[in-house]
Chains A and B, each alone.
Chain A
Amino acid sequence: MINKLDQLRISIPIRQMFAKCYLIEQNRICFLYTRNEFSYEYETAVGRNHEVPLSGLFVVAFCNLPRLVMQVYLFCTGLEMLCFCNLRPDVLNNQINVAFVALGLCPDQQDIKQLRTRYPFANFNCVFGNDLLGKVLDCKVAMWYHDRDLSTLCDGTTVIFKYENKVIRLNADRVSLDIFKRTMRLKTNIKTLKPAGGFISFLAKHQ
Chain B
Amino acid sequence: MTTPFTDQNAGVKESIDKFIVDMMVLIGSQKGGAGKSTLAMLLANYLAGNRSQRVALLDLDPQHAIDMIAKKAKVLENEPPYQVWPVDIENFDFVLKRIHQLPVEMIIVDMPAEMINERLRAIIQQAQVIICPFNYDLLTLQPTIQYALLVGKINTNIKQLFIPNRIKSNVTYDTRTDIENILKRLGIVVPALADRIAFQRINTQHTPSTLIPVVNPVLDLIYECYLRK
Contact of B62 among A49, A136, A140, A156 (CB under 8 A): A49
Q: Chain A interface: which of B14-22, B73-81, B95-103?
A: B73-81
Q: Mark A129-164, 1 if CB is under 8 A from B, else 0.
A: 111110011001000000000011111110100000
Interchain CA distance A207-B200 in the complex, whole Å = 13
In this complex, the interface size class of chain B, counting residues with CB under 8 Å from chain A, is: 20 to 34
Contact of B208 among A153, A154, A173, A198 (CB under 8 A): A173
Is B71 within 8 A of A54, CB to CB? yes
Q: Mark B42-74, 1 if CB is under 8 A from A, else 0.
A: 000000010000000000001110001101111
Contact of A140 among B49, B75, B209 (CB under 8 A): B75
Is B76 within 8 A of A152, CB to CB? yes
Q: Which residues of A contact B76 (CB under 8 A)?
A: 133, 136, 152-154, 159
Q: Mark B204-220, 1 if CB is under 8 A from A, else 0.
A: 01111110000000000
Q: Which residues of B contact A159 (CB under 8 A)?
A: 76
B168 CB to closest chain A CB (Å) equals 15
Interchain CA distance A54-B74 in the complex, whole Å = 9
Q: Which residues of A contact B77 (CB under 8 A)?
A: 151-153
In this complex, the interface size class of chain A, counting residues with CB under 8 Å from chain B, is: 20 to 34
Q: Mark A162-179, 1 if CB is under 8 A from B, else 0.
A: 000000000111000000
Is B139 interfacial (CB 8 A cutoff)?
no
Interchain CA distance A157-B49 in the complex, whole Å = 11
Is A76 within 8 A of B72, CB to CB? yes
Contact of A105 among B32, B71, B205 (CB under 8 A): B71
A79 CB to closest chain B CB (Å) equals 12
Interchain CA distance A132-B73 in the complex, whole Å = 9
Further 14 A-B residue pairs, CB within 8 A, beyond A49-B64, A52-B71, A156-B207: A51-B68, A105-B74, A106-B71, A131-B200, A132-B203, A132-B208, A133-B72, A133-B75, A133-B203, A136-B76, A152-B75, A154-B78, A200-B201, A204-B200
Residues of B within 8 A of A (CB): 32, 49, 62-64, 68-69, 71-78, 81, 197, 200-201, 203, 205-210
